[in-house]
């Protein structure tokens, strides 16, 4: 191979590697779980990846009900940034709009959560403890943690 062809081939290869490094991989909305971080430097072929958008929750208002004497069914609001980060972790890619996850049982606890998010606007999530769905138990546990941490403030 001539010297000019080698230099040309090397230049083309260098440009291709630089372009791959700058562009990373393409975000595919139908693939909610990333297989690798987008923008990672890689060689041909680029692996599929996805960039999961954060909900960007800014506030959550909730109330709970349970058929237990003296149960606190008051309405509360949470705006604490750390609590909103935890909420984004719980809802993550599991909620893409309003969601209802309920079952039927006696004595179950129902939680209705209205969340203001940067990505989806205002969404409502209703869950209860009468189902074995992970989302329902995760939301119930998070609300209990908010009460325990004192970040849930009563709405007047």
SS (H, E, C) 18-56: HHHHHHCCCECCCCCCCCCCCCCCCCCCCCCECCCCCCC
Average pLDDT over residues 114-119: 94
Q: Residue 33: which pLDDT band, with cuts at 50, 70 and 90?
A: very low
Answer yes or no: pTM beyond 0.75: no
The percentage of residues in the chain with a pLDDT greater than 90, rounded to a whole number, is 56
More confident residue, 149 or 44: 149
At 27 the three-state DSSP class reads strand
- Shortest CA distance to 34 belongs to which of 20, 58, 54, 57? 54
93 alpha-carbon distance from chain centroid: 5
More confident residue, 78 or 26: 78
Q: Flag the least confident range among 39-53, 69-83, 133-147.
A: 39-53
């Amino acid at each position: 191979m001539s010297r000019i062809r080698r230099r040309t081939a090397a230049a083309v290869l260098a440009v291709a590697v630089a372009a791959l490094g700058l562009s990373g991989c393409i975000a595919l909305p139908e693939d909610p779980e990333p297989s690798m971080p987008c923008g990672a430097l890689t060689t041909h072929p680029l692996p599929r990846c996805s960039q999961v958008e954060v909900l960007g929750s800014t506030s959550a208002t909730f109330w709970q009900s349970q058929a237990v004497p003296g149960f606190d069914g008051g309405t509360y609001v949470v705006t604490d940034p750390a609590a909103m980060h935890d909420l984004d972790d719980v809802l993550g890619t599991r909620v893409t709009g309003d969601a209802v996850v309920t079952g039927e049982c006696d004595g179950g606890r129902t939680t209705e959560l209205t969340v203001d998010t940067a990505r989806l606007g205002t969404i409502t999530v209703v869950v209860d403890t009468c189902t074995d769905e992970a989302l329902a138990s995760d939301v119930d546990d998070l609300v209990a943690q908010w009460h325990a941490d004192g970040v849930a403030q009563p709405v007047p």
